[in-house]
Amino acid sequence: MSSFIHLRNSLLSVECNRVRSINAIAREALSRHDKGVDEWYEERRMVADEDENAEDRDYLDELYADQKADAAEAYPQLFFKAIFASAYGTFEQYINSICLHDAKQRAGVGLRDLRGEGIHRARLYLTKVAGKAFPDTPEWRDLCDYGLLRNALLHADGDLSANTKAPSIEQLAGRVRTFSVATDLSAVTLTGAFNDAFVETIECFAEQLAHALQ
């Protein structure tokens, strides 16, 4: 089991570094796009000023405002949320693979025979079936709340107004300070640092789990 854990943690580290890289690429692309919008506006504004057409200038200003808003808000959120969903799936696959590997070494109850889903079912397997110690650490508790956030983003686009788990997600926001929740719970906003912090939590917990299982 220990050699397998070492291999899985090495592969997980590779995946986490890929998340960091794509997050950096996304942030750089967003910055270039934002500058491109400014350059586009300046060029078009000069033409509009020469034509002295007030309607054209007003329309151009509206287009510019819309594009700047997308560059500052809509596009970053699409990138960051997609990266987060992928990174969370990587962690889920990681912990499930440990359970599946252990199940091959023993006869009886397998991971899919247990109730629940995702990382919670994996913990149930490791503690109840495999009889392993499990690190109930702040990182693990954060990962559980990250799962609530992931579900809210995927199934309700971050609208927490009807989500019974909203308090847990708000508490996570207060702890990690890399995303915010609207005061009316209608939206969640991720910062550019969100995914880097998330994969750091994954890697920290993976080390804790490896130590507990060896």
Q: What is the pLDDT along the chain (214 residues), one digit of tens a residue?
A: 678 999 999 999 999 999 999 999 999 999 999 999 999 999 888 776 666 666 778 888 999 999 999 999 999 999 999 999 999 999 999 999 999 999 888 877 888 888 888 999 999 999 999 999 999 999 999 999 999 999 999 999 999 999 999 999 999 999 999 999 999 999 999 999 999 999 999 999 999 999 999 8
* Pick from 116, 172, 126: nearest CA to 148: 172
d(CA 140, CA 13): 17
* pLDDT at site 48: 67
CB 203, CB 94: distance < 8 Å: no
Task: Give every CB contact of residue 177 below 8 A, 6+ residues apart in sequence.
Answer: none
Q: What local confidence, expressed as pLDDT, does residue 52 receive?
A: 63
At residue 147, the pLDDT reads 98
Q: Could you give the CA distance from residue 28 to residue 136 in angstroms, rounded to a whole number?
A: 37
Q: How far apart are CA 4 and CA 212, in angstroms?
A: 14
Could you count the other beta carbons within 10 Å of the beta carbon of residue 140? 18
Query: What pLDDT is recorded for position 108?
Result: 77
Residue with tokens 């910055």, as numbered in its chain: 31
Distance (Å, whole) CA 147 – CA 158: 13
pTM greater than 0.85 (yes/no): yes
Q: Which candidate, 95, 90, 91, 135, places its Cα nearest to that of 4?
A: 95
